[in-house]
Every structure is written in structure tokens, then in C-alpha cells.
Chains A and B, each alone.
Chain A
Amino acid sequence: AQSVTQPDIHITVSEGASLELRCNYSYGATPYLFWYVQSPGQGLQLLLKYFSGDTLVQGIKGFEAEFKRSQSSFNLRKPSVHWSDAAEYFCAVGAVASGSARQLTFGSGTQLTVLP
């Protein structure tokens, strides 16, 4: 069965600092990988996704993620964090066959706090 681990429950960074959120997955085949962001009381917004090809994926809001098959990781990065980036971030893995939400497995999330 597929699974996703986000080892960091809570991360605090200063505004302007760089950010890396970790995501490790377990899946028996080539996965679809996603990062979502959720502001308090809001739905999830898709930041970026990886299906195939270039392992460095660019997303919205200046985020990027790198797929490393050898490490089963899909870490999210941003070179300079803005106060508006404070939110909860979810990594998800899905079956390559369909990429449908039914087959998505979500991590438990990482809460990001940004200090002024």
C-alpha cells in the first residue's frame, strides 16, 4: 500500500529565509506526487505536481520540488519565504495510472510558521 510521511509536524522560519519541507513516500511503481497548501479554514490549493520527466518541478508562488527516486523523496523548497506562506503543507502520492483523487494518499501535513 502507498504511504506518505512528512517527518516535520511544525517548522518555523524567519521571513526571507530559505525553506525545505520534507516528504517521503512509499509506492510500488512510478508515482504521481503532489504538494498542496492549506490556509486556516480554507480548502487545499495545488502548488505543484510531478508525473514524469524533469525531476525538478516548478510550482506556483515561487515553490519548487525535487523528485529523488533513490531516496523516495519529494521535498518542497522555496529560496525566500514570505509571511503569506504561513500555512499547512500536504504532500500526496497517487497511482500513475489515473492520478485520480481516489488514489491519492496524503501525508499528515507540516505546519509552517513564518517569523517577521
Chain B
Amino acid sequence: SQTIHQWPATLVQPVGSPLSLECTVEGTSNPNLYWYRQAAGRGLQLLFYSVGIGQISSEVPQNLSASRPQDRQFILSSKKLLLSDSGFYLCAWSLTGGAFFGQGTRLTVV
């Protein structure tokens, strides 16, 4: 069966520091991969999606970037975090029929 791993679960980073969140999927090949951000009481916002290695599409302009160095690995990064980057970040994968989510990373920028 397919599983998705996302880490770390929580992260506290100072403003201006770099960020790297990692997500890996097991049990499937060539999945579509996604990064979402969830703000309190505001639902989910799609940040990036990828349909293959090295193929990244951004849904909204922001201080973050994403990379897909391997088929089942998706990384969310920032060179310099802003206070407004705080939130709950969720990685997801899909082939057809909906999305399956990781456990999320709670990022607090202080």
C-alpha cells in the first residue's frame, strides 16, 4: 500500500533563516505531488504541484520554492523565512481519484 512521510512534525525557526521540509512517498510510481498550506480557519491553499522529476508549478507567488529531485521526493524550501510563512504545511500525492495527505508540519517563524 502507499504511504507518505513528511518531516519534521514541528519546527520553530527565526525570521531570516532557511527552511527545508521533506516529503517522500512509498508504494507508488510517478505520483503527482503537492504542497499545501493551511492557515487557521482558512482551509487549504495549494502552493506547488509536480507531475514529474524536476517539474514544478507554483500556484501563488511567495517566499517559498519547491523541488523534486527524485520521483517520490518533494521538498519545500525557503532561503529566508518571513513571519507570514508560519502555518501548517501539508504534502500530498495523487494519481487519480483524490489526494492523500501526509501528517503535516507545523512551522512557527519567530
Q: What is A's interface to B at a CB cutoff of 8 Å?
A: 9, 32, 34, 36, 41-46, 49, 51, 90, 92, 94, 98-102, 104, 106-109
Q: Assuming A41-B104, A41-B106, A43-B6, is B42 touching A101 (CB within 8 A)?
A: no
Q: Assuming A100-B32, A108-B41, is B98 touching A44 (CB within 8 A)?
A: no
Of all chain A residues, the one with the shortest Cβ separation from B44 is A106
B90 within 8 A of A: yes
Contact B41–A104 (Cβ < 8 Å):
no
Give chain A residues whose Cβ lies under 8 Å from the Cβ of B57. 102
Q: Assuming A100-B32, A102-B46, A108-B42, is B102 touching A43 (CB within 8 A)?
A: yes
Interface residues on B, range: 20 to 34
Give chain B residues whose Cβ lies under 8 Å from the Cβ of A100. 32, 49, 94, 96, 99
Contact B42–A99 (Cβ < 8 Å):
no
Contact A49–B97 (Cβ < 8 Å):
yes
Contact B43–A102 (Cβ < 8 Å):
no
Contact B97–A99 (Cβ < 8 Å):
yes
Complex formed: what's the CA distance from A34 to B92 in Å? 15
Q: Of B34, B42, B98, B103, which one neighbours A43 at CB under 8 angstroms?
A: B103
Complex formed: what's the CA distance from A98 to B44 in Å? 19
Give chain B residues whose Cβ lies under 8 Å from the Cβ of A36. 101
Chain A to chain B contacts (Cβ below 8 Å), 9 pairs: A41-B106, A42-B103, A43-B103, A44-B99, A49-B97, A99-B96, A100-B96, A101-B49, A108-B42
Contact A101–B92 (Cβ < 8 Å):
yes
Give chain A residues whose Cβ lies under 8 Å from the Cβ of B100. 46
Q: Of B6, B43, B90, B98, which one neighbours A46 at CB under 8 angstroms?
A: B98
Contact A102–B90 (Cβ < 8 Å):
no
Contact B99–A104 (Cβ < 8 Å):
yes
Q: Assuming A43-B6, A98-B96, A99-B98, is B43 touching A109 (CB within 8 A)?
A: yes
